[in-house]
Amino acid sequence: MAAQTPLLLSPQALLLYLLLIPVLLLLRATNRRSAGERAAADNHGGRPLPSPPNKLPLIGHLHLVGPDPHVSLAALAAKHGDGSLLLLRLGQTRALVVSSPRAAEAVLRTHDHVFASRPPNALADALLDGGADVAFAPYGEFWRQARRLVITHLLSARKVHSLRRGREEEARLVMAKIQGAAAAGAPVDMMRLLGSFTNDVARPGPDGGGGGPPPRPAAKLKPCMR
C-alpha cells in the first residue's frame, strides 16, 4: 500500500506557499512604510505630510512624474501640497518636495546638517573602501576633516591658479577638435568630448597639464558603468 503524502507537503500546499511569499513581503514593506510615515508625521507637528492620494502598489507615485520631472513636481505640489511640503513615494524611496522659499531656507540653511548627508551607496562602498571619499562619505566628523583637506590642499586659490595653464590647454584642444569636425562636416559627440575634457582637467599630468598620451583610466572604466 503506497504511503500517502502529508497534506502540508502536497503540491497544492507548496504552490500556496509560493503564492503567499510575495504577499508577506509586500505586507512587510507596507508596515515599514507606515512606520516611516508615522515618524515623518511626528516630525511635522503630529500632522501627516500632504501626499497625492492615488498611490499605486510597488511604484507609488512614479506614474505621476512625467518626462519633465520639475514640471510634474511643481504641478503636484500646487495641487496636493500645503504650500511648502509634499511627500511622494517613488518606488521604495520617499521623496520630500520643497516648494516655498521659507521651507527651502529651512532645508538648505537652518537644518542643512540633517539633509546634507549622502545616502548609502553600495557601489561607492565597494570601490572606495566603504565610501571613504569626500564625494560619497556621510556627513560627520570624517567628512568635515576630508572637506577641510580638499579645500586647503586642492582647491586653494594658489593651487587652482597653478593649474590654470593645464585647463587652458585642455580647453584649446577641445575647441580644436570641434573646429576640425566642423571643417570636415562631421558630427561631434559632445557628451563624450565634454566627459573627456572633465576627466583631463580633473587629472592633471606631472607638468600641470592634461593627461597626455597614456591611456585614460576613465576610458577603461566607462564601459563598466553603462
Domain extent, residue 181, equals 165-205
Instruction: Say if residues 181 and 188 touch (Cβ distance below 8 Å).
Output: yes
The residue whose grid cell reads 521651507 is 103
Residue 41 located in a structural domain: no
Q: If pLDDT is split at 50, 70 and 90, which confidence band does 115 have?
A: confident
Q: Does 150 share its domain with 170? A: no
Residue 178 located in a structural domain: yes
Residue 84 located in a structural domain: no
Q: Does 158 share its domain with 182? A: no
pLDDT in tens, 119-170: 777 777 777 777 677 778 888 888 889 889 888 888 888 888 888 888 899 9
pLDDT in tens, 90-99: 888 888 899 8
Closest CA to 91 of 59, 51, 52, 57: 59
**Structural domain total, the chain:** 2
DSSP 24-74: HHHHHHHHHHHHHHHHHHHHTTTSPPP--S-PBTTTBTGGG--SSHHHHHH
Residue 145 located in a structural domain: yes
Per-residue cell: 141: 566628523
